[in-house]
Chains A and B, each alone.
Chain A
Amino acid sequence: MALLTLEGISKSYVTAAGPFPALKQVSLAIEPGEFVAIMGPSGSGKSTFMNILGCLDRPDVGHYRLDGRSVEMLDKDALAEVRNNFIGFVFQGFNLLPRMSLEDNVALPLVYRGLGREARRAQAREMLAKVGLEGYAASLPNRISGGQQQRVAIARALVNRSPADPRRRADRQPRQPHQRGSDARLRGTQRRGHHHRPRHARGGHRRLCPPAGALPRRRNRRGQPDAAS
């Protein structure tokens, strides 16, 4: 069974000029272990799609099943728990918290999971070691290089996997950073990225280029004309 199933997802934004459709009837299934890149020109709705995929936003219409559970109707706090337990984000610019040590940054998802201090520490240190930053646990993000910051962001995205989860074994994907796009990772079992530049997406198993109309072009998701495209 597919890990992610999206059926007939639509999302529109309210603008001064009336509702602006950002996604129209998008359907997609992603299998465990799959690596998927989402590509498209600026304003084609990639971010909107990723927000829904990452459970940051809810679709207006359509069904979204994540690991067998229906998430399109969940409220904000339930979505937060889904993100905390199943989804890891590596943002463009990495978005580490500047005042926190690397260890605390990596451990932050575990705080919201309610883990004890020692467990958080152990997992965060283990994760930092896996991305090759074991000596930097106490450093602040602005003391390390951009590449290192990215690795910390990946560590943070992957730290919230439950060790008991059987799908952990499916994690055979290369772990090194591979693109600069804003990409979301689903518990390390399959990865998605969306890209402006196709060459970054070459590592993906599958490229999704939205057909015309499904992701409207030449407009960003706020509905203003997009100067970049």
Chain B
Amino acid sequence: MDELILKLKREIIDVLNLEEVSPEDIATDAPLFGEGLGLDSIDALELIVLMEKNYGIKLKDPTQGRDLFKSIRVMAEYIRENRTK
């Protein structure tokens, strides 16, 4: 699980172009949107693409993302249970 969390942090930094942010800066349980990293709706769409591309998880409803992207831990747990690749 820790390995997946670290990998996910790196992927998010890369795909969202979070220059000057390192995996250690992202708290595993902190909210990704609003406060915390300050991500927005476009970032949510990028994360949906990431989920499909890297883990084979298809989200069709953008509102589903809202619950899923609460924190890195919530995301990682969902990936662990639902990944197809």
- Do chains A and B stick together as partners? no
